[in-house]
Amino acid sequence: MKYRIALLIFIMSMSLFAQLVDVGVTIEMDNLRPQEKSDLEFLNGQIEDYLQDHDYIDNKYDIAVPIRVSIFVTSSSLSGTERSFSGQLIVMTESNDLQLFEKNLKFNYSQSEALIHSPDIKSLATILDYYALNVLASEMDTYEPLGGSSIFEEARSLGSRAQMSNYSSGWTERLKSLDELIELRYFRQYKYFFWTIVDLESSGSLKEIPENIDKALYYLEEELTINNRNRFMHLFLDAHAQDMAELMKLYGNDKQKAKIMDLDLDNHDTYEEAFKK
């Protein structure tokens, strides 16, 4: 099982300051003409540097999140000297327990204009900042119950300003997705208690695990009662089902084991197989 403390030590050995680390960016542009591809030649490296070399939040927990960014560019157009690109975007954590996707991405980009952090609304840079805040807010939720709320609100403020700017394309949909994340208040607390259990085992505080399993299951059940098919929730459950199964095999009672199988039906077989061993 991958423990957060061990992961954090490894990541901090790579970078003492970055909040988004080991950023990997891929840009697929098979449909573009040679000149259009040439225009994007250095964009992946620029995005990696842009995301890694900035402090987005007050990082009191030394949060460091490895992420992957995939851009699928499907078309391009030129207006004067400014070229715009269209396609799809996926931003995900390395463990794939958070995935942010948009199918109608539009952005302007020129090699002559470097990506620079600025309070001004920009075409591509503001989109990257917005997703960076989403990732970090989701991560902060795992350190404090609903701990990412203020960062989510910062993302909302940024998106609202962008929605009123000259680069308004896509922001209505992005803010709608943000609201979906924010409103998962019970699930966000489930994530907190899941990671609390992981950290308790890693630190050897085993006696505290059963009561935290109860808390995790309570919040998961509450969220499933409200919305049992939310994509963000099920992505996280799928990514960590094996981890949760191993933890509950060691520290959960029969009632708790039965409950997780009843709640997380998509991963019922994973739990059942682990509990048999």
C-alpha–C-alpha distance, residues 227 and 231, integer Å = 10
> Would you place residue 4 in the very low, low, confident or very high pLDDT band (cuts 50, 70, 90)?
low
**pLDDT tens string 44-55:** 999 999 999 999
Q: How far is CA 70 from CA 95, 103, 109, in A?
A: 15, 12, 16
**pLDDT tens string 56-84:** 999 999 999 999 999 999 999 987 777 89
Q: Give the pLDDT of residue 117.
A: 95
pTM: 0.93
C-alpha–C-alpha distance, residues 80 and 28, integer Å = 25
Is pLDDT of 8 > 70?
Answer: no
Mean pLDDT of 161-165: 97
**pLDDT tens string 211-270:** 999 999 999 999 999 999 999 999 999 999 999 999 999 999 999 999 999 999 999 999
What percentage of the chain exceeds 90 in pLDDT?
88
C-alpha–C-alpha distance, residues 277 and 274, integer Å = 6
Mean pLDDT of 76-94: 91
Q: Give the pLDDT of residue 43.
A: 96
- What b-and-e string marks burial along 255-275, b requiring 16 or more CB atoms within 10 Å of the CB? ebbebbbebbeebeebbeebb
Give residue for tokens 């989109």: 127
What percentage of the chain exceeds 70 in pLDDT?
94
Mean pLDDT of 197-208: 97
Q: Which of 97, 134, 102 is nearest to 232 (CA)?
A: 97
Q: In which element (H, E) is residue 112 found?
A: none
- CB-based burial of residue 23 (10 Å sphere; 0-12 exposed, 13-18 middle, 19+ buried)? buried
Q: Give the pLDDT of residue 146.
A: 98
Taken as a whole, the chain contains a residue count of 277
**pLDDT tens string 105-130:** 999 998 888 899 999 999 999 999 99
Q: How far is CA 158 from CA 75, 104, 165, in A?
A: 27, 19, 11
Mapped onto helix, strand or coil, the DSSP state of residue 148 is coil
